[in-house]
Amino acid sequence: MVKMFEFFAGIGFQRFALEKYSIDNQDNPHIDFQSIGNCEWGVYENITYGIMHENLKANNEHSEQFLDAELLKMNLSFNLKQPAKLLKNKPYEFKMYLYEALKANKTLPNINDIHPKQLDELKADLWTYSFPCTDISILNAKTNTSAGLQKENGASAIVWQFLKLLQAVKHKPRYLLMENVKALLNKHNRGDFEKIKQIINAEGYISYEILMDGLQQGAVQRRPRVFMLSIRNDLSLPFENTHNDFIEYVKQYYPDPKAAFKNRKRRLLDCVSEFCEHIDEIKKFMLSKHIKISHKMVKHCKTFLNFDENPFYIIPALNAKKDTPPQVINAPLIKVNQGQQEEMNMEGFLPYRFQTVRERFNSFGLYDYHYEKLKAHPASKYLSERILCRQVGNGILVEQLSILYKVISDIEIINPRQVTEQQWNTFDTTQIAYIVCEKYKYIKSQMQEWINEVVKKNDKSLFEKYNQLEEVFETYTQEHHPNIIKLQKFNELINEIEKYRE
């Protein structure tokens, strides 16, 4: 079991990806993941997260005074930019759902307020961190004076606080998983990226970055993102310790290009037919108060459901500068059919619209039931369409993340962790033999260092257990077929050694 803690959690795309990972690997040997908490200061993000992942429930046992006092202690934000100042003025029900969400999500709201001891107590195996891209994205480079991660009080600079926590904790997680825009690797930001990697590696990690574009991983949109997997350097690897070997190892889990194309085509055609939106939903994204669709926008943006213009069935990304109103650079447009035009009385408007929230959910690898679960919850009335669009726009393609979870699972399988009772019951004997033999190799490689500790402590217990381990392993390797009884004994001895070491 890999225990995961999410920094900059948003609405929990890491959790959505774990759902896909579990489904994709249900018939293959794999390690389970468990969320043990997150860090997210967004008020609305926490409510959405609670609805989607923790089955958020109402609880009216607390007084309004209690809720005001508790929420005041937490450094939360409405707009993800400044601390919330008017939270006290919100309705009782809103504050109740927010408080219950923070509890259910096990949220440590603000990264600046987290004490290293809190993280040490959690003993997470995996930290994920998708820090804000505001100051490093290409679209906002001019307004941000290209300061990038060095911008004073910039949103993206919060990554340095994350690294301070990593340096301060005693319990170092086995893995760190970063996601951000590909501009992190350009000439303006590359130096800061290398500094991030240097700080992480100094804490006992080996870090590998990879650029994933979305389409190659089976998504319906091209959303290039850089990921970095940092692996604690005491763990064995299923690939050679080089950057190219890591990339090739990850790519083995990419879907076949022909299958990926068929999947994109099917999902976009579903969007046209089965998931065709109700006219009221279309109106919201046609007669927009915030951005009016212009001739210039139609000329530069793709109407992705016009398959003469879009023969590869790709949903273009929505790119906009953060301005008032936002300046749209590119957007996925959908042409409104004649019947819908007449019903909506679209005189003065071009016959195009943006994606609805449901369609945006689908384009990030989520499904209709995710959106329906959200909209069916009574707290969803506090989540406007604009807020939901922002939340999805800050998301990560689940197809990309699920592949990286499979890589982490592979590393876990060959490293010394207890084989659970469930694994003994579900894995066949050959799979278990593979796991325990890899664990034995690790212990054998570390044994000399451990023997030195035994000598210092004048304690022979560890050495005796290791001798027993070698005897069992020797008799096991002399047999032609794996013996489950000896494998269990072998695994028990390994676990005893690990407990002794702890």
**Which residues have a catalytic role annotated?**
133
Q: Are the beta carbons of 255 and 263 closer than 8 angstroms?
A: yes
- Going by DSSP bridges, is the β-strand pair 205-212/175-181 parallel, antiparallel, or unpaired? unpaired
For residues 247 and 241, what is the distance between their CA atoms, to the nearest angstrom?
11
- The helix or strand, by DSSP H or E, that contains position 177, with its residue range, turns out to be strand 175-181
Give CA–CA dist 405/403, Å, rounded: 5
d(C-alpha 284, C-alpha 481), whole Å: 65
Q: Measure the N-to-C terminal CA separation of the chain; round to a whole number of Å.
A: 18
The residues pairing with 129 across neighbouring beta strands, listed in sequence order, are 7, 178
Overall residue count recorded for the chain in this entry: 502
Q: Which tokens is 354 given? A: 């943006």
CA–CA gap between residue 304 and residue 161 (Å, rounded): 40
CA atoms within 13 A on the CB side of 222: 8
Instruction: Answer positive or negative: Cα dihedral of 63, 69, 75, 78.
Output: positive
